[in-house]
Structure formats: structure tokens, C-alpha cells
């Protein structure tokens, strides 16, 4: 969590701590299984333990951290079975969301996603894992939000939250960043052409590549 003092703090200490913890997890600074040392973290961020505890409770509810009695908080770890189940459920839910978005067809959807894709590619070139993870999420959720189904979007968001730390591991490799850029462009091309089937197939391939890469990471852990 380097450079935190250079950023403008959010309105509350809890929001500030929550943002810093998210950034540390999604960037890979805190990796799955790492302990979260509250005293050290509170001193580094210059906050009391109260907003830190509240931020950790929020992250625990989202599945990003876990609490072990007498041991404290740790970045959540997933088994390969957990990871594959999450991505399988994502496939089902996101297919429904994208299909609904396609049917509703907001006029500016593709144009908005193209602008967001520029952010994805800029972050990929800069090798900025955190920025790429954030831009990638905005890209995908612009599409699922267009479904007009907020309950479905919230379910999908919960699944994404549970794998944030692993997404950081995926984007660390240059080949994976370029793969994601290529697949995003293919999705955009299919959407521009009005080809729902092709868009869904590319999104399936996008998720499958991530799972295959993370399967290797977990096998080495």
C-alpha cells in the first residue's frame, strides 16, 4: 500500500481504508492467504483500529477476506473447485444479462464500451495491474448493467468480488493482459455487428482462458 499519502482521501476514514485494502488485494500486493496485520496497517494508513475493523467486515461480507478466531483476518483463498464453480455460475448469469442487454440495445452501449476498452489497453501497456483490473470490471459491468436487471447484476458483482485477488494474479503476466485485450476487441466487434451468439462465445472463451491460467497458478501454490 505504497504511496497512500499522495492520494486524496475519501470523505471517511473507513472509505479510505476500504479503498486501500481493495487496491492492495486487486494489485496482488496482498495475495490470497496473506495475513492482514491490523496494527501495522493502521499505523501505515494513519487511522485508528475502528475504521479498519469496519472495512475488514465489509470485505469479509464480500468474500475478499476471511476471519479466523484467535488468528485474525486473511486474504481469502479459493480452491480450484471454488474457482471453477464461481466461473461456471458467472457464465450462466452473465449469459442471461448480456442477452437481456442485447435485446434492450441501448444506443450508446458499444460506444461507451469502446471508450472503456481504451482504458483497459492503456493500463495493459503500462503494466498497471490494478488499473487494468478496474478498467476491465467497468468494461464488463457496463454490458451487464445494460440488462436493466439490478438484482442479477448484484449477484454477478458478488461473484466478481470473490475472485478479485485471483484476477490480479492473472493480469500479472503480459500474455494474459494481451489475451484479454484481444478478447475484449472481439466482443466489441460482435456487438457492433449485432451478433449476440458470437459475443457470448467470445465472453465464454474469455472466462475459460482465465480459469485455465488460474488453474496453473493454484496448482503451483
**Domain-by-domain residue ranges, the chain?**
4-75, 80-220
Question: 104 and 146 in contact (C-beta within 8 Å)?
Answer: yes
Q: Which residues have C-beta within 8 Å of that of residue 8, sequence separation ≥ 6?
A: none
Query: Count of H helices and E strands in the chain?
Result: 10, 3
Give me the pLDDT at residue 113, please.
97
Whether pTM > 0.85 for this model: the answer is: no
Residue 77 has pLDDT above 50, yes or no: yes
**Strands of 35-36's sheet in order across:** 35-36, 72-75, 65-68
Answer whether CATH 1.10.10.10 is correct for domain 4-75. Answer: yes
Q: What is the pLDDT of residue 181?
A: 97
User: In whole angstroms, what is the distance from residue 57 CA to residue 10 CA?
Assistant: 18
CATH architecture of 80-220: Up-down Bundle (1.20)
pLDDT tens digits along 170-192: 888 899 999 999 999 999 999 99
Q: What is the per-residue pLDDT for 94?
A: 98
Stretch 119-124: mean pLDDT: 96
Rounded to the nearest 5°, which phi and psi values hold at 186? -65, -40
Grid cell 458470437 is found at 198
Q: What is the pLDDT of residues 18-71, one digit of tens each?
A: 888 888 887 778 888 899 998 888 888 888 888 899 999 998 887 788 999 989
Amino acid at each position: 500500500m505504497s504511496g497512500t499519502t499522495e492520494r486524496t482521501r475519501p470523505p471517511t476514514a473507513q472509505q479510505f481504508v476500504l479503498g486501500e485494502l481493495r487496491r492492495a488485494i486487486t494489485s496482488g500486493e496482498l495475495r490470497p492467504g496473506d495475513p492482514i496485520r491490523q496494527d501495522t496497517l493502521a499505523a501505515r494508513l494513519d487511522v485508528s483500529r475502528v475504521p479498519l475493523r469496519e472495512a475488514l467486515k465489509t470485505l469479509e461480507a464480500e468474500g475478499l477476506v476471511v476471519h479466523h478466531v484467535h488468528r485474525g483476518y486473511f486474504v481469502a483463498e479459493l480452491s480450484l473447485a471454488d474457482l471453477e464453480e464461481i466461473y461456471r455460475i458467472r457464465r450462466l448469469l452473465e449469459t442471461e444479462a448480456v442477452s437481456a442487454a442485447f435485446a434492450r440495445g441501448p444506443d450508446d452501449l458499444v460506444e461507451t464500451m469502446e471508450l472503456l476498452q481504451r482504458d483497459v489497453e492503456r493500463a495493459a501497456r503500462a503494466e498497471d495491474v490494478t488499473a487494468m483490473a478496474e478498467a476491465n470490471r467497468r468494461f464488463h459491468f457496463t454490458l451487464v448493467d445494460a440488462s436493466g436487471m439490478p438484482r442479477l447484476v448484484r449477484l454477478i458483482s458478488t461473484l466478481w468480488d470473490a475472485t478479485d485477488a485471483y484476477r490480479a494474479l492473472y493480469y500479472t503476466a503480459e500474455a494474459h493482459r494481451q489475451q484479454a485485450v484481444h478478447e475484449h476487441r472481439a466482443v466489441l466487434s460482435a456487438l457492433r455487428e449485432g451478433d449476440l451468439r458470437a459475443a457470448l462465445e467470445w465472453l465464454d472463451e474469455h472466462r475459460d482462458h482465465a480459469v485455465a491460467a488460474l488453474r496453473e497458478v493454484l496448482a503451483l501454490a
